[in-house]
Structures are given as C-alpha cells and as structure tokens.
Amino acid sequence: MREMIIEKLKSIVGQENIKTDYDELERYSKDETSSVEPSVPIAVVFVNNAEQVSDILKLANQYKIPVTPRGAGTGLSGGAIPKKDGIVLSLEKMNHILELDLENMAVVVEPGVITDEIQKLAEENGFFYAGDPASSESSSIGGNVAENAGGVKVLKYGPTAFHVLGLEVVLPTGEIVNFGGKMMKNVMGYDMIRLFIGSEGTLGVVTKIILRLIPKPKYSAVLLTPFGDMETAVSCVPKVLCESGILPTSIELMDRYSVEISSKFLNDNIPQQGVDCHLIFEIEALDKESLTRAYISLGEKLQQMGALEVYIADNRHQKMKIWKFRKAIAEGIIAFRPKHCMEDVGVPIKAIPALIRSTYDIARENGVEVLNFGHVGDGNVHVTFLKPETMNEEQWENSMHRSLEKLYHITANLGGTMTGEHGVGIKRKDYLNIFLTQTEIQLMKKIKQAIDPNNILNPNKIFPDRI
Amino acid sequence: MKILVLAKQVPDTDKVKIDPLTGTMIREGLDAVINPLDLHALELALCLKETHRAQITVLSMGPMSTEMVLRDTLALGADRAILLSDSAFAGSDTWATSYTLSEAVKKLNIEYDLVICGEKATDGETGQVGVEFAVLLNLPVITYVSRFVSLQNDSIVVERTVEDAYETWKVRLPALISVLRSVSEPRLPTLSGKKMSLSKKVEIYNARDLGLKNNDLGLTGSPTRVVKVYNTKLSRNCQLYMGKDLNQGIQEVVKILKNYKGSVRR
C-alpha cells in the first residue's frame, strides 16, 4: 500500500519532488515547537502548482491518507507536525512572487515566499507590507496566512488577516476555489477568506495569496524605556494608549530575564541592564518635525509614569540596536533554555498587569521558572515557563501541565484568548475547552466536517480528543 | 581638556547603490546619519568628557542637511557643533576636504588637545581625511586605534591594530587618532539630550566666512579625478569532490588551498 501510494505521488509531482529517506523525513517530523513530540511521515512531497495539490488531495481522499501542509516549518504550535501514517505536503517550492501590481497596491504571491522578500520588494517600490511576524526572515507567507501570524506591528496594522485581499485555496476534496481579489471591499456572501486564514492548514491548502500594500511610513522612532518594577511598566501601557493621543506601531515588553537571555545570545548589553523590565515603543510620522513632537510628548508621559529613562532612536542603526534585543529573545530561549514552554496568551489591555502578576505566582506555586516578553500593546504576552535545572523530566511535564492549566484559566477569566498568533495546533488542543463551550467547538467541527468529510487534511489539530 | 571630533554625514543604508551611468552613489530617498565610525569617535570623546571633564567640539563639512546630523551629536552630549557648508565646497576630494577643515580650525580658533575621527567613512571608504587634516595642522597621527588605554597629563596611550599584531603607542598631545569600532560602544540619545539639542545652535560657516578662495575648494581645488567607477564581480569557483574516503577529500582541499593564489604559506 505504502509503495503504491508513493508511486502514485511520484506520478503527480515527479520522482525528484518526493523524499522518503529517513534522514529527510526526520527533518519534516517537527516544527519549532519545543514541547511537542516529533512524528515521522511516510513521505514528503514538494508541489509546484495548485493542480498538483489538487491531485494529491484527491488521492489522499481516495486512500484516506492524512496530509499535513507545511511552509517553512517555523510554527510554534505543532501545526506542521504530520501523522505517522501521513504525508507532508511541502509548499517550499511554490516560492514565486507572481505579480507586483502597484496601481492596485497589491502583490500576488505563492505560499512558499519568505515574508521578508515581500517586504523587501514592497520597500524597493516605496510601499510597505504591514504583516511583520518576528520570524519574517524565515517564515513563509503561506504559514503566516495559515496561522494568522501577528508580530510587533499588530497594534497599529493588525495581524496577517488585515492584509489579505484574496486567496486561491485547494479544498481537502481537491477542488480549486478563489475568494476575494484586488479590491478592498467585498461582502459577497460569507467571509470565506477569514475562514481560511488562521485555519491552521485544516480547511484547505492556500496556493495563491493577494496581499495589500500600503504607502511606506517615511519616519519612525523607537523609544526604549527601562522601568524599576514590572507593575509600573505594564500599568502604563493602557494609560499610554488611552491618554497619549498616539497610536504606536508597537509596544513591546521584555522582563529582566528576557533581556538577560537575549543579551547573552547577542553578547551585548542594553542600556540599564538589570532593571526589572524594559518597554519598547515604536511610533511613525509623516515628517521629522511631527515625529520629534510625538516622541517628546510620548517620552515625557512615560517619564511621568515612572520610566527610569527614555532613550530615543530615530535612525536605522539606533533602531536596530534596540530591536535586536527584542528579536533575539526567542532564539536565546531555544539556545540556553531548550526545555521550555512558550505561550501566547492574549488579554484585553486593561488586564495585562493582572495577567503578568499571575504568571509569577503560577511559577512559584509549581516550582518552575518564568519569563515574560511580547506584544503588551495588543495584550499578547509570550509567557514562557522554563524547566529549572534541578527538576527531572517527569516533574517538569507535570509542573508544566499544571502551570499551563492555571495560566489558561486565569486568562479565560480575564476575558482573554489561549493563543493570539501562534495557533492551537497539537500543542494547545487539549486546553481548548477551557476557553470555548462544547457548542462552540462543535460548530467549528461541523465546518471542518463539511469541508473535509474524510478528515484527511491536517487531522488531529485544533480540536481536543475529548470534549 | 578640549577634544575635536571630525564627523561626516553618510547615507543611512547598508546597501550602497551606484548609478551605473554616472558612477556616483545614489543618495535619493536616503536619510543622512553620522558616519558610524565617527560615532565611535564621538563616544570615546564623551567617555573622556565624563572622566576628564573634556569639552567636545564636533566639526563637519557637508550640505545643509548635515545640520540635523550634527544636532544628533549635541543630543548625545557634544558641547559645540560646527558645520562648513557652501556650494563652493561641493565635489571636494579628500585633499580639499582636509584643507577646508584645517583652515576652519585656524580661522575659527577652534581649540583642541586631541582630535578624534573614525578610521574611514562608509560612503567613500578612503580613510585619508583624518591623516591629511593632521598633516596640514602639523599633528602626530595614530591610525587604526582599537583601544584607548589612558590619558596622562600631556599625552595619551592607545592600542592600534595592524594586520597581525597590536601596537601600543604613547603620543604627546595635541595629536589626532583615527579609531575603529572596538574603541567604544556608542550610547543611545536620551529624551533630555534630544530636547536640549533642539534649543542649541549648530554654527554654520561658508567659504566667505572663513576667507577661503574658491580655487582651493571643492571640485576646482581637488587634484583627484574619478575617471571610472565600476562594480566588481565576485566570481566563485566551486569544485566538488565525490569519494568515500573523508581524509582523501581533506587532503584534496588542503592541496587546493596551498596552491591558491594569495594563500598564506608558513
């Protein structure tokens, strides 16, 4: 059976586009999620167009083979981890920018294009693609769509969904459908684009994406503000947003341990290293004068609210000097604390202080360590539990589970979400019913069943095994 | 102690693009910033200001947009910023630039014990202006300074990096040093520094203010002529050896490296 399936796949994509060696398969058995077990598929198939995707999904339906679509494999929920008896459908080779349509302020791309390449092309032409996940150097746009990726600019520009105008999708049953186009407004029937975005590769395989471009913001400044205590820092976030009259592009938090770990990774120090936390604000303006007025106004407010100092970066080099500390946190955690659990909870901004406060209590109660960083401006915090060196694996598994459960209950009570941008995937599916009712989960499952009756497309994701 | 920092404005980019027709750098759409190595020079001066109560003057020559760049040096803690700006200065080569800067120092009576500049600018990459400026003012020069060791009464001790060694030099002041990145880690400006810089004045002088003759300035006063600018093509020669014996493969690589033109033989 297995050999027969592989032969049929070869006839669709050609021998050169299928891998079955264990060493190759092992690479596709995991993504960048640390706390989920890898799972080796029977084959990895590299597709070049929507028709090949369609033929593969029809074959998968005929023989009931689980298919897991995969972009660059940078996901943080285990969404690209295949089933053992399934195949990985890699979209890496569909990596072409098909059209740059400046008159319509749109770009048409295949899913395997690395997000930064879109950004570079847009910038070269005086435009801007506002989707900017932290992984933009390595993640693919198809993955960004599948997870509705966020990033550091969501506060002002919104997540990936805000920038998608149209999609070509191959349904799990093999039909190719198109929704949307290069127009801004479209209320023709259900919003199918938003249904596919963030569906974690369970409802269809996206094969073409139309993205919206906007004029490139000309001037920006980054404010780095150290704070003596976390409570003062996070309390000022909602105040700044409500009272300053300025909507920053980003408000990012780095607690002391986050800064320590990224500094170690970069072998560099941030100003006022060792304080309780740092906040980073980025603001934009049309001209230098209004930018100066804005950063003075915002900086003075932050000083009044307890910032120990306000550092201003208004050129590229200085801005990079600040942002590199924020961007290196995740890499630092992977390098120095490989046994960790990076979370992605989101709460209404007013509840941020309560959420952060609770994480230290949870860590203390369960004997684990914790660090907090992330997009506090939009309420999305990457609470990260770390295994203490002295703790054994079994204890860690139990403590991590207890910590997560507590964190999720607190987040739910604060009116929040389990995941703001990383997705449910395998990693979080068993906790979904903390946040959603049985009816709500059943509604989602009915949609899945209607579109994928044989449950072949990325099964075993999102929904808990038991409701 | 009085420190003079020489600074240049350069385009804020890490990808210099050259116009294939004119051979000149495309500066359109790019903001100007202080040359990164000059920022390390300024940072060293600021550290000496903190430890030895030095007074810092920053001197630059360039278009009027340089005023914003010099204002940034005031925000970081420089005490005085001077810009030499005149259409007569346009097209200056390193000689005309050094001449203009050194004449300004004489005419404006700018006092200094130590002159610090970056080793080179990211746009021209000649590394000549600091040295020529020192010659015109009859100052001793130490180039490629990688570490500032100490300031002792009327002299400084610095470490310079040469190809395969470090050298430690003691030089009597006044002197000029051109510095590498490792000499300091530039600080970020603070809000109070930025606000303060808005109320300070960048002094601007033209050729007439300095009593300079047009024949000695700009393109006319520049003996250098850029005849041709072209992009070099990096070509790589990839050789692939397939075999089962790793050691044999390594020996092949060693043999290639040994015979490679420019490889170091010991």
Query: What's the confidence (pLDDT) of residue B111?
Result: 97
**pLDDT tens string A174-225:** 999 999 999 999 999 999 999 999 999 999 999 999 999 999 888 999 999 9
Q: How close A164 gets to chain B, by Cα (Å)?
A: 28
Nearest-5° angle of CA B232, CA B235, CA B237? 165
Fold of A97-215: 3.30.465
- Inter-chain residue contact B187 with A224, CB threshold 8 Å: no
8 A C-beta contact, residue A134 and residue A327: yes
Q: Give the span between the Cα atoms of A244 and B262, in whole angstroms.
A: 61
Mean pLDDT, residues A259-274 taken together: 96
- Write out chain B residues lying below 8 Å of A317, CB-based: 12, 33, 36
Average pLDDT, chain B: 91
Fold of A219-330: Alpha-Beta Plaits (3.30.70)
Query: What band does A467 get if pLDDT is binned at 50, 70 and 90?
Result: low
SS3 A333: helix
ipTM for the complex shown = 0.86
Q: Tell me the average pLDDT across B102-127.
A: 93
Say if B31 is an interface residue toward chain A (CB within 8 Å): yes
CA A71 to chain CA mean position, Å: 13
Whether B265 has a pLDDT exceeding 60, the answer reads no
Asked if the model's pLDDT at residue B266 lies above 60, the reply is: no
One-letter identity of residue B196: M
Per-residue model confidence (pLDDT) at position B24 = 66
Nearest CA in chain A to B190: A311
Question: What class, spelled out in words, does domain A337-431 have in CATH?
Answer: alpha beta
User: How far is the C-alpha of A70 from the C-alpha of A65, rounded, in Å?
Assistant: 16
Question: What pLDDT score does B264 carry?
Answer: 61
Beta sheet of A106-109, edge-to-edge order: A97-101, A106-109, A205-212, A164-170, A176-180
Domain boundaries, chain A: 2-90, 97-215, 219-330, 337-431
pLDDT band at B30 (very low <50, low <70, confident <90, very high): confident
**B12–A292: do the CB atoms touch at under 8 Å?**
no
Q: Note whether A317 contacts B36, CB cutoff 8 Å.
A: yes
Tell me the nearest-neighbour CA distance from B222 into chain A, angstroms.
Answer: 32
A224: chain B residues, CB-CB within 8 Å? 188
φ, ψ of residue A6 to 5 degrees: the values are: -65, -40
The stretch B226-255 carries a mean pLDDT of 81
A269 to chain B: nearest residue by CA? B185
Segment A4-29, tens digit of pLDDT: 999 999 999 999 999 999 999 999 99
User: Which domains are assigned to chain B?
Assistant: 2-216 (3.40.50.620)
Residue in chain A closest to B192 (alpha carbons) equals A310
Q: Do domains A219-330 and A337-431 have the same CATH topology?
A: yes
Three-state SS at A339 = coil
Residue B183: DSSP 8-state: G
Whether A317 contacts chain B with CB within 8 A: yes
Interchain CB contact of A267 with B (< 8 Å): no
> CA-nearest residue of chain A to B32?
A315
Q: Which of A263, A293, A318, A321 is the best substitution to test chain B (most B C-beta atoms within 10 A)?
A: A318
- Residue A286 near chain B (CB below 8 Å): no
Rounded to a whole number of angstroms, the distance from the CA of A312 to the nearest CA of chain B is 6
Q: Which residue has the tokens 């934009």?
A: A284
> Do A309 and B190 count as a contact with CB atoms less than 8 A apart?
yes
A295 touches chain B (CB under 8 A): yes
Hey, is the C-beta of B16 within 8 angstroms of any chain A C-beta? Answer: no
Mean confidence (pLDDT) of chain A: 96
* pTM score: 0.90
Partners of residue B177 on adjacent β-strands: B116, B142
Dihedral angle of Cα A394, A398, A403, A405, to the nearest 10 degrees? 150
Which residues sit opposite A69 in a β-bridge?
A: A89
Q: Which residue of A has its CA nearest to B31?
A: A315
Give the residue on B whose Cα is nearest the Cα of A219: B31
- Region A2-90: CATH code: 3.30.43.10
pLDDT at B228: 77
Q: State yes or no: pLDDT of B20 exceeds 90.
A: no
Task: Check pLDDT > 70 for residue A103.
Answer: yes
